[in-house]
């Protein structure tokens, strides 16, 4: 068989990844897309593209009829399902095969054998694959489940037989919680997978998640490609993956490889697959599940073997025998992290919006598998993964250092992502010394948040410094702001709403910002513009040198301080110029209330003396004399309301001699 034209039934980074390997092999590619993805990167990368339908996955990427029509219309020889969506749907795989198209994956019979965790365990346990003590029988009555749970012991894991990703899963610590946990897991499993069958397992405290990559051809040959450690997870979703697995005795490693090969052989597996195990503190390992598809984290295996797994998927699907140039031992060490459009400050809630700017790191040992680029619209319809960052080094220490440098070079502007969480996570001492387990992230919630103190002040101050630099250009849009007032000090006002504002002042190189009850003072400030709107602020704060990357627009700013994303949006921005008005008048930048009169009318004042304080938008502002002279008579009293643009006081300047 020869594959001349390949349809990729997926989207995002995996579709782009498959397209690029197919191109290297001289295979023409067909992308599919929803109406929401018509300008997506994978659509632009492919040789041709077919629209499947409306944005919801059920009407596009999960629409089997539309996909089968796309195969026929494009005359594709083969279909690669990627991962997720229909990649583990045995019925769909059979329909593709029945349509005369090559399915780049295992036979439907193997997929069905592993689709149910309970059935998989029943199949593999007689072959000697180690299993966690538990129950995965056909009797699903509450009475039986409760009796089996008591014989297994607590803590206990109740989980869906048909699913994964943490859905339909409950940890139970005692008899009293068991009935409710069974009911809740059943409901969730039914809603998520259409199958409410459950299995019970002994719950391992602080276990590791280790998996073995296997690949098999159509001629009965099965090989392992070493293992990966995926212990750093959040809500049962992998966050950091590495290969090979550190801190494992060679005997355990080899036994795990053999068990994975046995699992694949026992079901007549073909193609790339992953056998997942759980490893307890004593070093014993147990079968978890088999993923009958390419895994998200396959690049770390490619790094330590030098193999292109997608290329071998295509060769095996075309009937070629395995002829792997596999090293006897892993070559070096590799890490992968997943970049998601999600907000750690909001319990990792998925985010949507427009990616204004995207910069990926480059260099030896650095690889980025991305599904987005600048100006991509991130929609709410699909998995929020944006890209994967992969690094490789001769040693684990070298690879981890390279990972941290690469993460520091990533720039993503426009919406909240988990980038800053990953930066903090990958600098953790416990990762360097490998003292992590599957619950480690939940146990270290302090890593979820970070960033500068007074973030709104930093954002407003950076916008002001950037504005000052940019207004040297008469074409700059900041010059379009109207209603600018004249003061001795430079002053910027950012109205965040009708009740909130940030005020920034600069005088002789010293900058101050106030936003509500936040305040900030810095000096030795500079702004370097890389291209319009994107640049870097450097400043001295409390004797520390601070560097902030920023993206500035007419209506907002986004900051990257290396630890967190800070964003500020305003509906009005005004600047007061440095030059002094000739008549000595000082006017209000915004409506407010007079809170203090520091000098009586008729008194002589020096330039810079405090004259009047007013409160506006929950902040008190003190205004000073712009020149030396005499304070003229004013009718203002403490408590008076003043309007935007109203004259507050006048300094009658001294006549020049």
Catalytic residues: 293
- All residues at 6 or more sequence positions from 290 whose CB lies less than 8 Å from its CB, including other chains: 114, 120, 263, 264, 273, 274, 275, 276
Please state, as a whole number, how many other Cβ atoms lie within 10 Å of the Cβ of residue 505.
Answer: 19
Residue 91: HSE in the Cβ half-sphere, 13 Å Cα cutoff: 5
Q: Which of 473, 501, 386, 538 lies closest to 550, judged by CA? A: 538
3-state secondary structure of 74: helix
**Residues 226, 326: Cα–Cα separation, whole Å:** 10
3-state secondary structure of 185: helix
| Calculated CA dihedral for residues 295, 301, 307, 309, nearest 10 degrees | 0
Matching residue, tokens 């990844």? 17
**Residues 503, 623: Cα–Cα separation, whole Å:** 12
Structure tokens at 106: 């295992």
Structure tokens at 619: 């902040």
Distances (CA, A) of 613 to 40, 297, 595: 53, 59, 5
Give the single-character DSSP code of 250. H
Q: What's the angle, vertex CA 369, arms to CA 529 and CA 322, rounded to 5?
A: 155
Structure tokens at 335: 């890490």
Q: Which of 616, 623, 520 lies closest to 568, judged by CA? A: 520
**Residues 66, 72: Cα–Cα separation, whole Å:** 10
3-state secondary structure of 198: strand
Farthest-apart Cα atoms in the chain, separation: 106
Please state, as a whole number, how many other Cβ atoms lie within 10 Å of the Cβ of residue 634.
Answer: 17
DSSP string, 325-351: ---SS--SEEEEEEEESEEGGGTTEE-
């Amino acid at each position: 068989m020869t594959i001349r034209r390949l349809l990729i039934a997926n989207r995002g980074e995996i579709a782009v990844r498959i397209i690029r390997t197919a191109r290297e092999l001289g295979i023409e590619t067909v992308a599919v897309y929803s109406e929401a993805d018509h300008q997506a990167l994978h659509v632009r990368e492919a040789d041709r593209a077919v629209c499947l339908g409306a944005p919801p996955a059920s009407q596009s990427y999960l629409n089997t009829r539309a996909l089968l029509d796309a195969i026929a219309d494009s005359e594709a020889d083969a279909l690669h399902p990627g991962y997720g969506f229909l990649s583990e749907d045995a019925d769909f795989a059979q329909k593709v095969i029945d349509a005369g198209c090559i399915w780049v994956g295992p036979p439907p019979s193997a997929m069905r054998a592993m689709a149910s965790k309970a059935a998989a365990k029943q199949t593999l346990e007689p072959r000697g694959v180690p299993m966690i003590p538990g129950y995965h029988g056909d009797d699903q009555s509450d009475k039986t489940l409760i009796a089996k749970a008591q014989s297994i012991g607590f803590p206990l894991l109740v989980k869906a037989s048909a699913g994964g990703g943490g859905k339909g899963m409950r940890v139970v610590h005692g008899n009293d919680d068991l009935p409710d946990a069974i009911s809740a897991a059943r409901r969730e499993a039914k809603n998520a997978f259409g199958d409410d069958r459950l299995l019970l397992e002994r719950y391992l405290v602080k276990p590791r998640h280790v998996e073995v990559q296997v690949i098999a051809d159509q001629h009965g040959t099965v090989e392992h490609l070493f293992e990966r450690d995926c212990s750093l997870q959040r809500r049962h979703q992998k966050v950091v993956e590495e290969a090979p697995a550190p801190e494992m005795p060679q005997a355990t490693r080899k036994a795990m490889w053999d068990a994975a090969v046995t699992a694949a052989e026992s079901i007549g597996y073909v193609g790339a697959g992953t056998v997942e195990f759980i490893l307890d503190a004593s070093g014993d390992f147990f079968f978890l599940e088999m993923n009958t598809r390419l895994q998200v984290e396959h690049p770390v295996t490619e790094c330590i073997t030098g193999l292109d797994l997608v290329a071998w998927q295509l060769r095996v699907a075309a009937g070629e025998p395995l002829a792997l140039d596999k090293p006897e031992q892993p070559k070096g060490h590799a890490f992968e992290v997943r970049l998601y459009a999600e907000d750690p400050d909001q319990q990792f809630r998925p985010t949507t919006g427009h990616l204004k700017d995207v910069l990926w790191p480059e260099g030896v040992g650095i690889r980025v598998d991305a599904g987005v680029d600048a100006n991509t619209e991130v929609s709410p319809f699909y998995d929020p993964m944006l890209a994967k960052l992969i690094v490789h080094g001769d040693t684990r220490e070298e690879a981890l250092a390279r990972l941290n440098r690469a993460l520091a070079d990533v720039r993503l502007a426009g919406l909240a992502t988990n980038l800053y969480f990953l930066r903090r996570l990958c600098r953790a001492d416990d990762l360097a010394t490998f003292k992590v387990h599957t619950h480690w992230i939940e146990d270290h919630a302090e890593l979820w948040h970070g960033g500068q103190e007074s973030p709104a002040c930093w954002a407003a101050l950076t916008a002001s410094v950037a504005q000052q630099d940019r207004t040297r250009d008469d074409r700059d849009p900041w010059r379009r702001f109207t209603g600018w007032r004249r003061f001795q000090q430079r002053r910027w006002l950012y109205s965040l709403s009708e009740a909130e504002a940030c005020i920034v002042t600069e005088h002789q190189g010293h900058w101050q910002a106030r936003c509500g009850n936040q305040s900030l003072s810095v000096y030795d400030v500079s702004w370097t513009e890389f291209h319009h709107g994107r640049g870097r602020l450097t400043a001295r704060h409390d004797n520390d040198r601070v560097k902030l990357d920023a993206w500035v627009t007419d209506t907002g700013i986004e900051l990257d301080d290396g630890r967190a994303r800070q964003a500020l949006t305003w509906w009005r921005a005004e600047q007061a110029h440095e030059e002094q008005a000739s008549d000595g008048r000082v006017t209000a930048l915004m409506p407010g209330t007079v809170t203090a009169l520091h000098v009586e009318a008729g008194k002589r004042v020096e330039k810079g003396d405090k004259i009047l304080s007013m409160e506006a938008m929950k902040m008190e502002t003190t205004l000073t004399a712009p020149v030396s002279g005499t304070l003229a008579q004013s009718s203002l009293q403490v408590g008076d309301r003043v309007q935007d643009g109203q004259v507050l006081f006048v300094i009658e300047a001294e006549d020049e001699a």
